Amino acid sequence: MMDLSGKNVFVTGGTRGIGAEVVKSFLNAGATVHTNGRNQVEISELNEKATEKLFYHCVDFLNNEQFIKFLETIKNLNVDILINNAGINKVAVAHEIATEDFDNIQLINVKRPFELAKAVIPHMLESNWGRIVNITSIFGQVTKSKRLSYTTSKFAIKGMTKTLAVDYAADNILANSVAPGFIDTDLTRTILTQSEIDELVLSVPAKRLGKPEEVADLVLFLGSNMNTFITGQNILIDGGFTCV
């Protein structure tokens, strides 16, 4: 039975999109959930509306000083379930990629998840129980023009996940990654027009965009006590896109 009462969860980037749905799913399962965003005004407003089991933290993962300080907070939260959802992207062909952009994408999409995992694993080892779910992408399985920086990061975190799984499976710490395809989020609707979305779904065998809650349901299962033996897997949730 799905009951995460007494479990502490940290979801990175949980103020909108897939992250917000993941936060909601773990709250509904009874967990205490912590998440983060960069906008102090928004975070303050969200905390005013939050339930007693939901906490928003203001931290910019691009700000090294802020992040290092935040790691100390994370170590004191006794995180049982870590969901690395936050990610950034910037498109360009290889010879036009600014080194700073490449570095920032690797920082947010790869290094920060590693540092967070490193911070929470000691508590998981003490508890002999832990779950780590990293959000990758279909672009950690296939690629597309102008996605070099992003694809590099998503292949990297997929590899990181597998190694975490091997290192800690005997300690009942299970690590998996979830690779969403094209999902119907506010960001998707902002970037693409309806006609562009209509054209996009023609390449998806399911003939529609995925729903954020569908991704969240999968993340919840992998990060819960319902998952007892799945580890080291990168599970695609893409309506069949990568099959064709």
DSSP per residue, 202-232: TTSTTSSPBPHHHHHHHHHHHTSTT-SS--S
Q: How far is CA 94 from the centre of its chain?
A: 25
Catalytic residue among 61, 150, 182, 241: 150
Indicate left, alpha or beta for 232 from its phi (over 0: left) and psi (-120 to 50: alpha). left
Residues in the chain: 244
Question: Do 30 and 4 contact (CB within 8 A), yes or no?
Answer: yes
Judged by DSSP in three states, 134 sits in strand
- Measure the CA–CA gap between 209 and 202, rounded to whole angstroms: 10
Distance CA 241, CA 228 (A): 28
74-103 burial code (b ≥16 CB/10 A, e <16) = beebebbbbbbbbbbbeeeeeeebeeebbe
Q: Any catalytic annotation for residue 56?
A: no
| Catalytic residue IDs | 150
